[in-house]
Amino acid sequence: MKKRFLIIPLTATFLMSCTTMNKTEAPETHNPLLAPFNTPYEVPPFHLIKNAHFKPALLEAIKIHEKEIAAIADNPDKPTFENTIVAFENAGQLLIRVNTIFSNLNSANTNQELQAIAKDVAPDLSANNDNIFLNEKLFARVKAVWEAQASLNLTAEQAKLLERKYKAFQRNGANLSNNDKGRLREINRELSVLSLQYGENVLAENNNYVLLVEDKTDLAGLPPELVEAAAEEARSRGKDGQWAFTLQNASVMPFLQYADNRELRKKIWTAYQNRGRNTNPYNNNENVARLASLRAEKAKLLGYENHAAFVLEERMAKTPENVYKLLDELWKPALAKARAEEQDIRKMMAADGIKENVQPYDWRYYTEKIRKQRFDLDEQEIKPYFSLDNVRNGIFMVTEQLYGLKYRQLTDVPAYHEDVSVWEVMEKDGTHLGILYMDMHPRASKRGGAWMTSYRKQQMIKGQRKAPVISIVCNFSKPTGDAPALLTFDETTTFFHEFGHALHGLLSNVNYESLAGTSVFTDFVELPSQIMENWAAEPEVLKMYARHYKTGEVIPDGLIKKLQESATFDQGFATVEYLAAAYLDLAYHTITDPIGGTITDFENTAMKNIGLIDAIIPRYRSTYFTHIYSGGYSAGYYSYIWSGVLDTDAFDAFKSKSLFDRETARSFRANILERGGTADPMQLYINFRGSEPSIQPLLSKRGLDVVRP
C-alpha cells in the first residue's frame, strides 16, 4: 500500500521532446493518428504526432465509431454472439487507440494546449458513450443474446464478455425513461469536464509553489543530494545561489523528513496540504462538492442508494458495508499503534524543548530520528545501494527467475519524452511478449504519483496474439551531480509495485481486449502490483540487486538486518493516514443528497467520526484526492488494503516453499496474471491459492497483531 494507484538516452532520431510536442502545425492531408503505425512493434509514432493532430483525429474516430455502432444496431439478421457481442467488442478500435494516446500524454507529458483539447472534446466523448449505451436498438440486440445464452454453448470467457457487455448497458442507463436518459446525458457531460478541471488544478498547484531558501543555515539536516537537487532546481528558475524546494514528492517529503528548521517544515507542509483550497483560480472546493453531488444523483437515477453502492456492485467487496467492515477491523489496531508512535515523538520533541502537541509537519522529521536511534538505521545509509539502474536490474532478475522473462532495451523505437526508455519483454526462448515504456522522473508536464497504463492492450486477432504496449510512470528523484538517481526504499518498493501492474498487462493472454490485463475490479487489480513489493525486501533478493553505486559492494548483512527489524516501524502512521483517506472517499460517495456547507467542514466531520488524531491528516485531502476525483478510484480507494489482504496471503504461498518456487510462480501467472477479467476474481484467487485469503498475514506484516500500550 503505497502513495500511488503505473536511464539510458534513446537514439535522437526517435525522441520527441516537450518542445516538439508543443508545436501545433499539423499537415492538412496527413494525420499520423489516423494512419497505420509504421513503427517498430506498431507503437505510437510519437515523433510524428503534434498537438493539433489530436482533436481532428478524435472527432474523426468518433464518427467512424458511430457508423460501426449503427451497422450493428441496424443489422437485419438475428442477433448472435458474433454479429452483436463480438462486433460490439471490436467496434471503436480507432477511437480507443487515439484516445488512449491522448489521455496518457495528457497525464505524463501535458501542456496547456493538450489540456484545452481535453476539455474541448470531453463532451463529445461523453456523448459518444451515451449514444452507445442509450441506443435502444443496440441494447435490444445485446439483451436478446443475453437471454439466449443458455442455448449458445459459450466458453467461460465468452460468457464473461457477454455478461460485461449486458451489465454495461444496464449500468449506463439503458432501462431509463427518455426523460431520465436526458438527465443522465447532462450529468455525464458535466462530470467529464469537472474531473478534467480537478486534475488540472492539482497539477497547477503542484507546479506553482516553490519554497526558496536563501540562507544556507536553513538547510541544516538535509542530505547533500537533496541540497544539490534544490540548487539545480533554483538555477533552472533563474535563482542561482539559492535552493528551491517544490511540492513534488521527491522534494517535499525528504524536506519534511530531514529539515531541522521547524518553521520551514511548517511552511512547505502548509502549502502541500492546502493544495486546491487556496484563493486562486485552482481552488477545487466547488469541484469536489459538485462531483460528489452529481455522482450521488446519477446513482439514484440508476436505482442505487448512493454512488458507492453503484460502484461496489462490480467489485469484490460488493457493498459499502463490506468495505467498512474491513476498514473498521484495521482501524482500531492501527490507531492504537499510531497513538503509541505519537507518544514517542512527543518525548523526543520535549527533549528538544518543544512542549506543544505533535504537528503533521513534525511526524516525518522525528520518526526519522527515532528510526536512527532505535534501529541505528539512517535512510541516507541505505540509498547508495538503491540506484535506479540497480533496482531496475533487480526487478528484471526477479521476474526472470519467477517467470523466465528477458528484457532488451530498444533505441530505434519512438518515445514521447527524452526521459523515457523503451524495452522489449520476451519469454525465455525469445518469443515477443510486449513493449514496456519506463518514465521515471518528475517534471512540470507530468502529474504526481506513480502509475501503470497501456498504449495497446493484449488481444487475439485471427488466432494470433496481438502483443501489448505498456507504460509505467513514476516521479523518482533525479540524478544529481556525479551521482545517479538514488531511490529511497519506499521508492524502490514503488518501482516493484508498478512493475507488478506492468506484468499484469504484459503477460495477459486472453481473446478479448476489454478483458485483458488490468481490466479487472479495482480491488483485485492491486494484487499483482502489491505482491511484487514483497520480493523487494527479501534478503535473498536484496543481495541480488542492492549494490553500492560507487563501489559495487553488495548491501551488508547488518544493513539488511536493520531493514528487517524496522519493517513494522511507523506502520501505525502509514496505515492510519491511508485508512483515513479511504474513509473520506466513502464519506463522499455514500451521500444521498447534495453536500451542504463547506468541503472543509465535511472533511473535518468525516475525520472526527473515525477519531483521527490531530497529528495525522488523510493521505489525500479532498481538494487533491486525484485517485477518486480524476483517477478512476471513486468509492474504491480502499482497494489497496483489500488487495493487501490478497497479496500477503498469496506471498505466503511462495514463502511456504521458496521465493522463486517455479510451480507456485507458474500457477500465479496462469491463474492471475494471464487471465485478466475473464472470470470472477475470487475464483481466480482460489484457483491459485486453493482457498479464500486470510487477513492474518496482513496484520502480521504491518505489526498490527501485537500493539504495545
Nearest to 177 by CA among 141, 134, 209, 213: 134
Nearest to 133 by CA among 87, 57, 185, 194: 185
CA 271-276-282 angle, to 5 degrees, is 115
Q: Which helix (H) or strand (E) holds 243?
A: strand 243-246
Residue 201 cell numbers, joined: 488544478
Amino acid identity at 229: A
Alpha-carbon distances, residue 368 vs 344, 374, 377, 383, 436 (angstroms): 12, 10, 9, 14, 35
Q: Are strands 464-466 and 210-213 parallel, antiparallel or unpaired?
A: unpaired
4, 447 contact by CB (below 8 A) = no
SS3 (DSSP) at 268: helix
Residue 252 cell numbers, joined: 517535499
| Residue 157: partners with Cβ closer than 8 Å, 6 or more residues away | 510, 511, 512, 515, 678
| Residue 57: partners with Cβ closer than 8 Å, 6 or more residues away | 31, 33, 34, 98
For residues 411, 412, 416, 419, the Cα torsion angle rounded to the nearest 10 degrees is 10
Out of 233, 342, 491, 498, the active site residue is 498
Residue 113 cell numbers, joined: 494546449
Place of cell 443458455: 150
409 bridge partner residues: 423
213 bridge partner residues: 243
Q: Is position 341 annotated as part of the catalytic site?
A: no
Count of CB atoms situated within 10 Å of the CB of 348: 17
The rounded distance, in Å, linking the Cα atoms of 269 and 266 is 5
Q: How many helices (H) and strands (E) does the chain have?
A: 28, 9
The rounded distance, in Å, linking the Cα atoms of 410 and 396 is 15
SS3 (DSSP) at 26: coil
485, 388 contact by CB (below 8 A) = yes
For residue 108, how far is the Cα from the chain centroid? Answer: 12
| Residue 215: partners with Cβ closer than 8 Å, 6 or more residues away | none
The rounded distance, in Å, linking the Cα atoms of 31 and 54 is 9
456 bridge partner residues: 469
Q: Are strands 432-439 and 421-426 parallel, antiparallel or unpaired?
A: antiparallel
Among all residues, which ones are annotated catalytic?
498
